[in-house]
Amino acid sequence: MMLLNARSKILFLCVTAVLISACQTGSDEIIEDSTAIDGVEQSQLEGSEVSTDTSGTAADLTVLEDGSDNSAIAFDDEAQSKADSPQVMLDKADSDIANRVIYFQYDSAKISEDSLSTIEAHGNFIASNKNVSARLEGHSDERGSREYNIALGDRRAQSVRRVLLFQGASSDQLETISYGEERPVMTSHTDDSWSKNRRVELVYEVN
């Protein structure tokens, strides 16, 4: 029994690893695309490819576990029933969705390699909790023109939104808003405070 359980765990981990790596390559493409000029490509990526990918892997997972042992399913069910409510998960200080701020480079809406896993964790969380919604608040530093910064904040929020959608969040769970440079978290005129002000904040609501 113990042995079987361990085996199914390994299987589960392998599948998850495959799933994550698949997602990462996919979202890399999306981020590349956000700088491209063609709008058509992007909407294709956002729609069909992503959803078939994930559902395909999910189906594989069920088949594998079905075939190996019944207790594997029991394990999954057990984990599911033990799963915390969305609010509890949001309140956890050490979870992978505890970080709700994504930072950006100057005059850029490109998501960094480091931020990607954080956003993906949020995407998974939103995708598996249909009763949560997130407000993506885009911000910029104070330099340059105010209206351009509103547009820049909007682009940043849209970049995050694309990854969340890719992870399976649905568009009616997400709202984007840009505050530009109107709401800095730090007010000194230094590189350090500017880098902290160039951000997207995820603000959750559990419905």
The residues of the shown chain that bind another protein, judged by CB under 8 A, are 36-39, 42, 107, 142-148, 150-152, 154-155, 158, 176-180, 182-183, 187, 189
Quick one: 89 or 199, whose CB is closer to another protein? 199
Angle at 207 between CA 99 and CA 205, to 5 degrees: 25
Query: Minimum Å distance from CB 141 to another protein?
Result: 10
- List Cβ neighbours of 168 (8 Å cut-off, separation of 6 or more): 50, 51, 54, 123, 124, 126, 127, 128
Quick one: 130 or 189, whose CB is closer to another protein? 189
Query: Minimum Å distance from CB 182 to another protein?
Result: 4
User: Using CA of residue 77, residue 49, residue 97, residue 171, what is the dihedral sign?
Assistant: negative
For the chain, how far is it from start to end, CA to CA, in angstroms?
40
Query: Minimum Å distance from CB 200 to another protein?
Result: 14
Quick one: 52 or 145, whose CB is closer to another protein? 145
Quick one: 168 or 180, whose CB is closer to another protein? 180
3-state SS class at 96: coil
